[in-house]
Amino acid sequence: MSKILVTGATGNVGRHVVSQLAEAGLEVRAFARDPERAGLPVETVHGDLTAPETLEPALEDVESVFLLWPGFSTGNAGEVVATIAKHARRVVYLSARTSGGGSHYEEVEELIRRSGLGWTFLRPGGFAANTLGWAGQIRQGVVRWPYGPASRALIHEKDIAAVAVHVLTSGGHNGAAYVLSGPDELTQAEQVRVIGEVIGRAVHWEEQPLDEARERLMEAWGEATFVDSALEAWGSFVDHPERATGTVAKLLGRPALSFRQWAHDHAADFS
Ligand SMILES: NC(=O)c1ccc[n+]([C@@H]2O[C@H](COP(=O)([O-])OP(=O)(O)OC[C@H]3O[C@@H](n4cnc5c(N)ncnc54)[C@H](OP(=O)(O)O)[C@@H]3O)[C@@H](O)[C@H]2O)c1
């Protein structure tokens, strides 16, 4: 009864949670829909959170769970949380920094609070990895996107994972909700400039008119409410920049990784 089950183990954050826990010599089990394709260096079992019956066997001998909730609705999260509570003692949930308003993150947090599990919530703001969505445009030298002045303190996925590992391997975090960010507040146009500097190429920001952005996003995502709420959220960071919190440094005893460092780590993804 000492294993740590990592869901989302093939994702940006989960991959680092798995490798950092394994490096620390802990017993880790990864949960993935296709274990063979996952190519992880630890025991990996098949599982799909939309099919909670696949979770039960994965929880054997598990004490703690790193939980990511896929998708943007709560769906069967209640059943998933209840199954975890039947077998394990604590959960570290990868939630999000929200401005309230009943998002699925808050709903999943509430299910966990009522489950009887020991819990810690990680509430990161924007992931630096979101900028990988510009990789194609960066290769062409121009990023055409809305809201150049929107500012966020993007966080390196390695830091979210490091906080998760710290919380999973040390005491005193039960009932804590940590709002996590990177150390630099950068506008989107500045983020693009930093990536260009790191990969040694001039990359320009071109402000995309909102109606054009909406049209492109509708082609890509197909769902108007989702597109509109994403645009509204991005736009809100123009007047209300996402602020750096300093929580990563406080918890880990070292500075959070900069956006420039993140761009160095991902230079190959933009070349
Ligand atoms: N991007 C942001 O700015 C941001 C900010 C705050 C919070 N978040 C939250 O962070 C999470 C994303 O983390 P990430 O970037 O590390 O992940 P990611 O790279 O987007 O990968 C998604 C992960 O979810 C797993 N997954 C998808 N559907 C699944 C299912 N039905 N059952 C089990 N696993 C499933 C995938 O595993 P397999 O495909 O291998 O099964 C994969 O490991 C999301 O919950 C997101 O809402 C994101």
Task: Kindly report, residue by residue over 18-59, the tens digit of the pLDDT.
Answer: 999 999 999 999 999 999 999 999 999 999 999 989 999 999
Would you say the CB of residue 160 lies under 6 angstroms from ligand 1? no
3-state SS, residue 86: helix
Residues 201-219: tens digit of each pLDDT = 999 999 999 999 999 999 9
Residue 202 Cα, ligand 1 centroid: separation in angstroms?
32
Residue with tokens 């929107």: 150
11 in ligand 1 pocket by Cβ < 6 Å?
yes
Distance from the alpha carbon of residue 190 to the mean position of ligand 1, in angstroms: 26
Strand segments (E) across the chain:
3-6, 28-32, 43-46, 62-68, 90-94, 118-124, 142-145, 151-152, 176-180, 186-187, 204-207
The answer, yes or no, to whether residue 1 has pLDDT greater than 70, is no
Task: Kindly report, residue by residue over 159-189, the tens digit of the pLDDT.
Answer: 999 999 999 999 999 999 999 999 999 999 9
pLDDT of residue 190: 98
Q: What is the mean pLDDT of residues 126-137?
A: 97
Whether 182 lines ligand 1, by a CB cut-off of 6 Å, is no
AA letter at 87: H
The pLDDT value given to residue 72 = 82
Band of pLDDT at residue 101, cut at 50, 70 and 90: confident
How many angstroms separate the alpha carbon of residue 11 from the centre of ligand 1? 6
Tell whether ligand 1 has an atom less than 6 A from the beta carbon of residue 32. yes
Residue 61: pLDDT band (50, 70, 90) is very high
pLDDT tier for residue 71 given thresholds of 50, 70 and 90: confident
Q: Which residues contact 264 (CB under 8 A, 6 or more apart)?
A: 198
Percent above pLDDT 70 for the chain:
100
Domain(s) of CATH 3.40.50.720: residues in the chain:
3-124, 129-153+182-245+258-271
- Please tell me if the CB atom of residue 38 comes closer than 6 angstroms to any atom of ligand 1: yes
CATH number, domain 3-124, options 3.40.50.720, 3.40.50.300, 3.20.20.10, 3.30.360.10: 3.40.50.720
Alpha-carbon dihedral sign for residues 244, 245, 251, 253: positive
* Atom 10 (ligand 1) nearest CA: 94
33 ligand 1 Cβ < 6 A: yes
Tell me, what's the pLDDT at 102? 80
The CATH superfamily of 129-153+182-245+258-271 is NAD(P)-binding Rossmann-like Domain (3.40.50.720)
SS3 93: strand
pLDDT band for position 265 (cuts 50, 70, 90): very high
Ligand 1 centroid to residue 88 C-alpha, Å: 21
Atom from ligand 1 closest to the CA of residue 157: 16
Average pLDDT of the residues of the chain: 96
- pLDDT confidence of residue 165: 98
Q: Which residues contact 41 (CB under 8 A, 6 or more apart)?
A: 18, 19, 22
The secondary structure of 33-44 as a DSSP string is SSHHHH--SSEE
Q: Is the CB of 8 under 6 A from ligand 1?
A: yes
Please indicate whether residue 181, judged by its CB atom, sits closer than 6 Å to ligand 1: no
